[in-house]
Chains A and B, each alone.
Chain A
């Protein structure tokens, strides 16, 4: 599978730019910062970003899921809907919030408040921080897969402006369920990956202790996600990490969020939705062989070669 010039293979898909590779130690340090227990969570950002906030609870179907907080508030004097994954800081709160691992009820609550956003024309802001959706028999029974899928679909259908920000750990389907937005951003020391390092280590290395190796292989850092076209911007953090100064972290986030929403509000709703679809259509990296009988087939949707 070499990509030398002679083998008639063409690379298409997202333009992937060369970069300075990060070492295993550097990546692991970011993984730990992303999960630092003093790192600001949605309930730390919300009072710093919004002048008013009313939390809304429950999915109106089964129960309230404290792993996701949702509500309405005023952001720079506009009504917004905020949905965030909340991990909990001490043992008691972590148990209450199920370590930020939501069940189908969490995503259904999110969809319920997205419907409110659509009704009043309020932008939707999601703050992503989860090790993954909850793996439990009861969650499966109530349709965990379908809830995540429907949440993705709901975000694709919204006509209001949407911004998703990975503030901590964005792992697996539990993260993408809230990540299908017009603009997707990551904090400098956050991670975004197909699975947590521990999960990947258990499955691919058949050894839960290989999580550092797994993290180095997944390269879940903001720099890489930007390079792959998965996120549109990387939000800087205060020196040493967001946990050092919640106020400064919120101020930096505010700057990027406000700029994104200001840009997005200029675009008509249907056009904004179309652009969102195009954005997610383009993501991927694959080769296109020049087969004799199909050489005329050239992708019309993906970006050209780098």
Chain B
């Protein structure tokens, strides 16, 4: 499972992945350096619902997790970057003050080092146990993304299951390039809240990555096993360094030409089909 990126080998289902294992995957299981593990949740509101907030944090920490976001310096293939991954196992991946501060620092670090930032989100939204301070992390993380904007450093947002609430309504929606994992729920409001408020029955594919691709909310749905390759390619394209790679068609030619030939055939075949339709007077569809 670990080597298959926690994707089911028969059905392709994407299981949840912890923050640390995410960065292991991005680093292709090479070692990487965790940043700011010393930042831990405080309890500014002395918050208690069915259970005290401090108890919830203790339980999550007992699982060996430090917070709902893990950050590190690593390389995806040959591309160095700063990476941050959210951990759904830590209070539902909720964004409190620690997540906000760590992500802000990750943005500053990427801006300073002039390497891209990759953020993998998996979160129920803002951490309610920190009240309005959690809400303020939405603006704080966007300030971090603005630092990247000013430094002209690209940021890639990857949306895992689920990316909802205040995380989807802040930094996660602001990637220069945004990918979602197959079947991930990507939505500001949860399906249950929507059904209760509007009394409408939602479609079974409501808010899923594939639906949000059609809605124009993400650039592509990317299988986790192909994610590193895609991230590396995007970072290479956007890199300021000169690229030693030959043009794509030449790479395909070197790889045996099959892909290039297919690509070259596809376009004329399409236009021939349209030409025939036009000749028959049907018009383009």
CB distance from B102 to the nearest CB of A (A): 9
Task: Using known A-B contacts A137-B206, A200-B128, A219-B45, determine if residue A146 contacts B135 with beta carbons closer than 8 Å.
Answer: no
Return chain A residues, CB-CB under 8 Å to B170: 148-149, 152, 173
Give a binary string over B167-184; 1 marks a CB under 8 Å from any A CB, 0 the rest.
Answer: 011111110000000000
With an 8 A cutoff between CB atoms, is B200 at the interface? yes
CA distance A91 to B240 in the complex (A): 58
With an 8 A cutoff between CB atoms, is B100 at the interface? yes
With an 8 A cutoff between CB atoms, is B213 at the interface? no
Give a binary string over B37-54; 1 marks a CB under 8 Å from any A CB, 0 the rest.
Answer: 111111111011110001
With an 8 A cutoff between CB atoms, is B131 at the interface? yes
CA distance A42 to B47 in the complex (A): 33
Contact count A vs B, C-beta below 8 Å: 215
Return chain A residues, CB-CB under 8 Å to B28: none
Closest-by-CB residue of A relative to B142 is A152
- Give the interface centre of A149, A177, A179 by most chain B CB atoms within 10 Å: A149
Task: Using known A-B contacts A193-B132, A286-B101, determine if residue A146 contacts B217 with beta carbons closer than 8 Å.
Answer: yes
Q: Is the CB of A148 within 8 A of B142?
A: no
Return chain A residues, CB-CB under 8 Å to B43: 1
With an 8 A cutoff between CB atoms, is A145 at the interface? yes
With an 8 A cutoff between CB atoms, is A225 at the interface? yes
Q: Is the CB of A284 within 8 A of B100?
A: yes
CA distance A206 to B186 in the complex (A): 23
Q: Is the CB of A219 within 8 A of B169?
A: no
Task: Using known A-B contacts A137-B206, A285-B44, determine if residue A152 contacts B200 with beta carbons closer than 8 Å.
Answer: no
CA distance A142 to B44 in the complex (A): 36
CA distance A226 to B96 in the complex (A): 19
Q: Is the CB of B131 within 8 A of A290?
A: no
CA distance A11 to B97 in the complex (A): 13
Q: Is the CB of A135 within 8 A of B97?
A: no
Q: Please tell me the size bucket of the interface on A.
A: 35 or more
Q: Is the CB of A133 within 8 A of B188?
A: yes
With an 8 A cutoff between CB atoms, is B116 at the interface? no
With an 8 A cutoff between CB atoms, is B248 at the interface? no
Of A179, A287, A297, A301, which one neighbours B40 at CB under 8 angstroms? A287
Of B50, B97, B142, B165, which one neighbours A285 at CB under 8 angstroms? B97
CA distance A180 to B140 in the complex (A): 10
With an 8 A cutoff between CB atoms, is A288 at the interface? yes
Binding site for B on A (CB under 8 A): 1, 9, 11, 13, 16, 133, 135-137, 139-146, 148-150, 152-153, 156-157, 172-173, 175-177, 179-180, 192-195, 199-200, 203-206, 214, 217-220, 224-225, 228, 230, 277, 280-281, 283-291, 294, 297, 299, 301-302
Task: Given contacts A277-B147, A294-B37, list 12 more A-B pairs with CB under 8 A.
Answer: A137-B203, A145-B187, A148-B169, A149-B171, A150-B173, A193-B132, A194-B134, A200-B128, A217-B45, A217-B48, A287-B39, A294-B38
